[in-house]
Structure 1
């Protein structure tokens, strides 16, 4: 699991340790732990977020777009860090599960892992 997640552009913390424990899920909607099983190729590039534990800055952005489709930008520097799509319902690579609607792009953030 992660200690914190920072924007790669401005290096400010987007998610802290307490949020990381409940916020992230895998492509099969299972809480993310060290032993979680999901679709490795889908999860290789994205972190999926649990809709029940969203930080305020993400909730505001989703509500602004009326729970449809859009980008998630860093609340500090406005660079893109992820997105959301409540319209399409894309399936993961195993073709069994529908992907979670909200994701963070791993290449756009710094993942500070637990030791």
Structure 2
């Protein structure tokens, strides 16, 4: 399970995490940054670590999406701490994969609780 790091409210279970292949969209990701910053310095075959998880839309996210906006912040339903963001047109993971649509939770904002810890 994943819970808010600030208030410990459970946000989702592992079954709701969308798996993706790290580095799946590397060339597209690199091209985007080349256009913004010039050359990308990256070793061939190097894959960055995922710093977030992508999930299916969850009922507690409804408030963030009420205004029919295409992107925005995801806040903990209990304490209103920012735990991630959403973008219906997709977002890139730190590993280079593009996820569409993207409901992305930052690993720095959530704690992972394993069955042994419960």
Which aligned pairs between 1:50-61 and structure 2 lie closer than 5 A?
A: 50=56, 54-61=57-64
TM-score, normalized by length of structure 1?
0.64
Count the aligned residue pairs: 92
TM-score, normalized by length of structure 2?
0.63
Q: What is the alpha-carbon distance in structure 1 between the residues aligned to residue 94 and residue 5 of structure 2?
A: 27
Secondary structure of the residue that 1:41 maps to in structure 2? coil
Q: Which consecutive segments of 4 or more residues in structure 1 shift more than 3 A?
A: 89-95
Secondary structure of the residue that 1:71 maps to in structure 2? strand
Structure-2 residue corresponding to 1:73: 75
Task: Return the offset for 1:67.
Answer: 4.5
1:86 aligns with 2:93: no
Structure-2 residue corresponding to 1:32: none
Which residues of structure 2 form unaligned runs of 5+? 24-46
- Deviation per CA, 1:37-59: give whole Å up to 9, x if none: 4335252x100013xxx321113
Which residues of structure 1 form unaligned runs of 5+? 29-36
In the alignment, is the contact (CA less than 8 A) between 1:42 and 1:92 conserved in 2?
no
Q: What is the alpha-carbon distance in structure 1 between the residues aligned to residue 94 and residue 8 of structure 2?
A: 31
Change (3 A) 1:12 1:90: closer
Q: What is the alpha-carbon distance in structure 1 between the residues aligned to residue 109 and residue 99 of structure 2?
A: 20
Task: Return the offset for 1:10.
Answer: 0.8
Task: Return the offset for 1:65.
Answer: 3.7
1:98 aligns with 2:98: yes
Secondary structure of the residue that 1:59 maps to in structure 2? helix
- Deviation per CA, 1:10-54: give whole Å up to 9, x if none: 112112x4xx31x1113x3xxxxxxxx4335252x100013xxx3
